[in-house]
Structure 1
Amino acid sequence: MTTAVTGRAGTAVLENLTEPQPAVAAPSYRFFSATVRRVQRLSPSFLRLTLRGPELTGFGAAGDDQRIKLVLSRDGAPVTELLTDGPTWYQDYCALPDERRPYLRTYTVRAARPELGELDVDVVLHGVKEGHSGPAASWAAAVPGDPIVVLGPDRPRPGRAGSGRPWGVEWAPPADGPLFLAGDETAVPAISAIVEGLPAGRRAIAVLEVPEARDVLSLAVPPGVEVRWLVRGSRAPGEALGTAVHAALCELGVAARTAGQEVEDVDLEGGVLWEVPDEGGADGCYAWLAGEAGMVKKLRRRLVRDLGVPRTSVAFMGYWRLGAAEGS
């Protein structure tokens, strides 16, 4: 993921254990101090930051859409002096004066190399204009050596029993069946990591909408996986996806189904558009939708109500809302 005013998945998998081990908990999360090692402009809208630090050897990426939060100073003060690392960290963070409270923004880990203490994070540069001082402008000006604080999952430790989906991971498809993924530019990092990590022969179609043609990125996907890029241009977010989504679902055998159930309306002003089934439906196509909340709401309605895809087979996440900064 990458949030809209700036910019949500880690490709690393914890090592396979070949002998019986104690129960392992879903990872807890904590702050990691790091520095910017490398800055790479991938396209007009995408920037890749490589972060490095000894603390990141303990980073516990648990899925291909691993979310993290990056902490950015609002007033130039070191954020490590403003944060507390413990169960009350968020209350302490909220208690800081508005003018000092650091920006807290959600992104996806594009790749994790804990053995090197490194993370790659792709961010979207939305609204970077002269005189703009928000998080996107901070990324545009980032240089190697800049300090950064990451809020993310700790590597799980033996002896802590736990269950459920690890923190910050929403990709949980069934073992078999076709896959459909759709999103805007803020979902490109997560969907890119997901499709690159799929096993060869798994049928999947990903449809991605980006601001301009130069934002189409090269991905190394296995046989059976197809990525379709759409250029938004001057159209509204998600407008280019409608026809392409229907065509992709027809190819996956979804559009021949009987129309399905009504979906409840979600007030985007007062609620969060976010629902992930505990387990993907066993039959048919599994869908994973992410991006601007209004766009995701329409896509979800089309799949569940119009095409009859079971709700238990649709994960949907409103990463951002048009006209609103993260956290508003």
Structure 2
Amino acid sequence: MPPTRPLRGERALTSTTAPARFVLFPLHVVRSTRITAHLARITLGGESLAGFVNGGLDQRIKLLLPQPGQTEPLTPPGAGEFGWYQSWRAMDPAVRPVLRTYTVRAQRRDPDEIDIDIAVQGDHGPGSRWAVKTAPGDRVIVCGPAVEEAGGVEFRLPPSADWVLLAGDESALPAVAAILDELPAGLPVRVFAEVEGPGEEGYLPTGRPGVEVTWLHRGEDVDPVLPTAVRAAELPPGEPYAWIAGEAASVRELRRHLVRERGIDRRAVCFMGYWRAGRTEDQRAEDGPAVDDD
């Protein structure tokens, strides 16, 4: 059963000087629900969430998970704006928390909770393994926003946009769903969602006027199908705003198509490499950006 009162130490870890935009929130798992074949919803709670300020849309957070054999993640020393991150990098990799980046799918008050939807692919990574095995009461740490306009929200709809393009794979679906929740009613939206198979198609909301979703089934093929599908599609007229996320190489290819072949202003294309084939997020921390703005 989930804890009925805040667990010891679940107060946000902040600096004693100027308020930081992002702080560490010690939290516990409230519940875990499988919502599609490859997406699990992890609900986190804790007293510290009273200070969590969700920016909405594609708000990203860092999730710090315990290493195997640990009952909770070790808290990286350091205070202030991301001071913990340098400390985390300096920790022994055998004991430092597993670091993963996710989107806040929803936030609620009374009680304070946040939902994080995680793409699970069997035994293919520590984040996926944790999402499958976690249980109520498990301890984690979230680095998240503590003030308004803290950052971590990349989707910025310009007032001049006539329509919106959203494109991504399973890792981007939670952000796509959160963005759809907040777009103006009636705004035309084309969504291209690359997934393994039809088991994921129940995730995005249906029946919203102006929203057309194209599901792309990759099957067991590891090669992305997203860039090819968008390249072959007939897109709406007018001035677009594009948001694309997922595997870095696929995102890079799709962005180049939109800018170079479709003639879309590069400033109207928001793009993020959420992951890179063959590299874990811990390794990517040493790599630099997953997608270069070229």
Q: TM-score range by the shorter chain?
A: 0.7 to 0.9
Q: Which residue of 1 aligns with 2:138?
A: 146
Alignment partner, residue 327 of structure 1: 282
Q: State how many pairs are aligned.
A: 262
Residue correspondence of structure 1 range 273-312 to structure 2 within 5 A: 284-312=239-267
- Which has the bigger relative contact order, CA under 8 A and spacing at least 6? 1
Equivalent AA in structure 1 for residue 108 of structure 2: R
Q: Per-residue CA shift, 1:194-234, capped at 9, x if unaligned?
A: 01221211111111011121111243353212222111103
When structure 1 is superposed on structure 2, of 93-102 and 186-195 the one drifting more is 93-102
Deviation of 1:79 after TM superposition, in Å, equals 4.4
Amino acid of the residue matched to residue 212 of structure 2?
E
1:53-132 aligned at under 5 Å gives the runs: 53-79=46-72, 81-84=74-77, 86-87=79-80, 88-128=83-123
| 8 Å CA contact 2:216, 2:225 repeated in 1 | no
Distance 1:195 1:128 in 2: 30
Report the TM-score when normalising by structure 2. 0.82
Cα 1:228–1:306 shift into 2, 3 Å: same
Kindly provide the amino acid, as one letter, of the partner of residue 97 in structure 1.
D
CA offset at residue 74 of structure 1? Answer: 1.2
- After superposition, the C-alpha distances for 1:12-70 in whole angstroms (9 at most, x for unaligned) are xxxxxxxxxxxxx9970011111111110112211000111111121111131000111
Q: Work out which of the residue numbers 123, 133, 136 in structure 1 matches 2:128.
A: 136
2:229 corresponding residue in structure 1: 243
The worse-fitting range, judged by mean Cα deviation, of 214-223 and 37-46 is 214-223
Partner in structure 2 of residue 316 of structure 1: 271
Paired residue for 1:232? 218
The aligned amino acid for 1:314 is V
1:16 alignment counterpart = none
Distance 1:206 1:245, change over 3 A: farther
Distance 1:285 1:244, change over 3 A: same
Q: Structure 1 unaligned runs (5+)?
A: 1-24, 157-164, 255-283
Deviation at 1:81, TM superposition (A): 4.2
Aligned to 1:46: 39
Q: Say yes or no: does 1:204 pair with 2:189.
A: yes
State whether residues 27 and 60 of structure 1, in contact with CA within 8 Å, keep that contact through their aligned partners in structure 2.
no
In 2: Cα distance, 1:243 partner to 1:121 partner: 28
Report the 3-state secondary structure (helix = DSSP H, G, I; strand = E; otherwise coil) of the residue aligned with 1:316: strand
Q: SS of the counterpart of 1:90? A: helix
The code of the aligned residue for 2:268 comes to S
User: For 2:64 and 2:57, how far apart are their aligned partners in 1?
Assistant: 21
Tell whether the 8 Å contact from 2:27 to 2:45 is kept in structure 1 after alignment.
yes
Partner secondary structure for residue 167 of structure 1: coil
Alpha carbons of structure 1 residues 223 and 44: separation in structure 2 relative to 1, 3 Å: same
The alignment status of 1:35 with 2:67, answered yes or no, reads no
Deviation at 1:120, TM superposition (A): 0.5
> How far 1:240 moved relative to its partner?
4.7
CA contact (8 A) 1:207 1:228 kept: yes
Q: Sequence identity of aligned pairs in percent?
A: 39
- State the secondary structure of the residue aligned to 1:42: strand
CA distance in 2, matches of 1:103, 1:192: 26
RMSD of aligned alpha carbons? 2.2
**Secondary structure at 2:27's aligned position in 1?**
strand
Q: Distance in 2 between matches of 1:128 and 1:144?
A: 21
